[in-house]
Chain A
């Protein structure tokens, strides 16, 4: 049992820290959920990519550093400690890229990944539908075989970042007669293709953080199908494990947020009534970091992430809300103001228990697969 990073890993940390210290924008960028902020974040992603810091765990040929999981965790700690901007391209990097590494063709990887790493092509997720959220297998949007590709029709919703993104990836029903988990196809499509209508959806704070997609005979060439048609569910679920598991929320984000909360608490004259909640934020961030290190250690010795990732998801989503609620309470009347980082983070955190598989679904997975309780009526 060891928590000491190797000298080489510490050298990597030092290199990342030095680069971030001289490159992180002095003033925070505008919210990435706005058109102006989206553009500013693309510029930042390009700057990161120029020195190959945008996707450190990827192979060098696609713009990464072959850094591996442990160094990715180290980089994220440094990234958030340096108060670097949120990542507009994270849907692509954390959800689509792992799928392409596992199931894509070499042609797809070399075509799709480098522009993703540079922020030139920003990806939106197109999984959910009006009738298919947590019950994702009930989705109805269809892909019909056509000459040289597929023709998409239907409706997608809650597509994060789709209001300003370039392309999307998602599941479609390609064999209507097949059982619901079969006959699905996983593919990539252009949000500016003929037949695509993007209707931004404004979240609680009025920012267009996601969108509905209306698809009317949208052509997708065969080269944009991931894996075999009909295998979409299996392929997508390997991605969903990534989303809930190690990669969507790195511990660095919460360690840095907890540090900021402690700073705020000290500035505000340490009201004792919230002291315990501030301490819990510090404890939670450390617990999440160490839980992740333990999971990463198991993963690196060849064990799958498995249903443990459902505990991870429940933990960070609830932690994130508690942390931001504490900050808003510390701010007192100023906590009502919407134009602060804390307020933006609070609104963002409220969605945590809803997306990436609602927490009720995660608790069912924990109860049935980790505790062995019987399946029953929901």
Chain B
């Protein structure tokens, strides 16, 4: 029993962090939000080359997985850098198709290599206008939809939500119940990363912002909000990796609740401590603030996940 990331896992996190930091994700997110996905797709390829999507794809389909702990490590970094796109949905698509040799052999190598972005509508499909593969979950089956319509904005400007079109190709007559665990775990990890980024940026801000002649970070009221944010995030982290080890519905749901609630509370703190500048779209903080809200309800909102923790109906 040694409940710590290995040196290899930590090195993987550091290399992803370096890759993403060099990509200037804030400007890339802004162009993605404006509908120009060129830079985003280029980064997607580099993320795939780093092996992120292969973690969710079994070896027989040109992946290296499934490796949920490493996937958690990767998605924390993707969240920390506010990487846009149907990241979770591509992982979910891999989980939905892994058990079926025919569509898997055809589609999963493309997902693993980053050549194709997948999205999944349940009911809304994220970034369906950009995705190469639009899956729809309906009537307990997995369908490849011929596209999507009725594109609507999300509270997170980097996300666009659409409804998959009816019809298309039946890919699986069942929805593997464990597939959603992958989406939920990846979302929890991404949310934790979003929360950590919000905390880091806010700590940096209050260390520099001077009011009444001193940095605002020297005020106890400010410190205590940030201490609470740090505590909530650091208690969500072991739940995330514990869930990645067990992949049980209750553990994954607990991780999702804790990570998303901690990230969301940190977002509120970040906004308050930045003052009005944090309330603007021009300032980069907004890229994480809005994502914290969106991830909270994606792939199992707080009430649904809490019911799963208790094995209770909702």
Contacts and interface: CB of A to CB of B under 8 A. Distances in A.
Contacts of A276: 302-303, 306
The dominant DSSP class at the A interface is helix
Interface residues of B, number: 47
Contacts of A262: 310
Interface in B214-271: 214-215, 217-220, 222-224, 226-228, 230-231, 234-239, 241-242, 245-246, 251, 254, 257-258
A1 B6 contact: yes
Contact of B238 (A290, A300, A360, A362): A290
Contacts of A286: 239, 242, 251, 254
B227 A367 contact: yes
Contacts, number: 152
Given A3-B3, A297-B4, A279 B245 contact: no
Interface stretch (A30-38, A95-103, A222-230, A368-376): A368-376
B203 A371 contact: yes
B242 A373 contact: no
Contacts of B227: 311, 314, 362-364, 366-367, 370-371
A351 to B, nearest CB: 20
Interface string A266-305: 0000100001101110111011101101101110110000
Contacts of A298: 4
Contact of A373 (B4, B206, B257, B302): B206
A47 interface: no
B3 A294 contact: yes
The winner among A301, A373, A378 for most chain B CB atoms within 10 A is A373
A70 interface: yes
B240 to A, nearest CB: 9
The winner among B3, B9, B251 for most chain A CB atoms within 10 A is B3
Given A275-B307, A315-B231, A367-B223, A282 B254 contact: yes
A166 interface: no
B234 A311 contact: yes
Interface in B1-53: 1-6, 9
Given A275-B310, A286-B239, A287-B235, A297 B302 contact: no
B10 to A, nearest CB: 11
The winner among B1, B238, B257 for most chain A CB atoms within 10 A is B1
Contacts of A370: 227, 230
Contacts of B6: 1
A4 B4 contact: no
Nearest to A364: B223
B309 interface: yes
A315 to B, nearest CB: 6
B207 interface: yes
A220 to B, nearest CB: 38
Given A6-B1, A283-B258, A375-B218, A363 B223 contact: yes
B282 to A, nearest CB: 26
B227 to A, nearest CB: 4
Nearest to A5: B1
Interface string B176-213: 00000000000000000000000100010011000000
B312 interface: yes
B232 to A, nearest CB: 9
A279 B303 CA distance: 9
Which 10 A-B pairs give the minimum distances between C-beta atoms? Answer: A376-B218, A290-B238, A367-B223, A279-B306, A366-B227, A363-B227, A293-B3, A373-B217, A363-B224, A374-B218
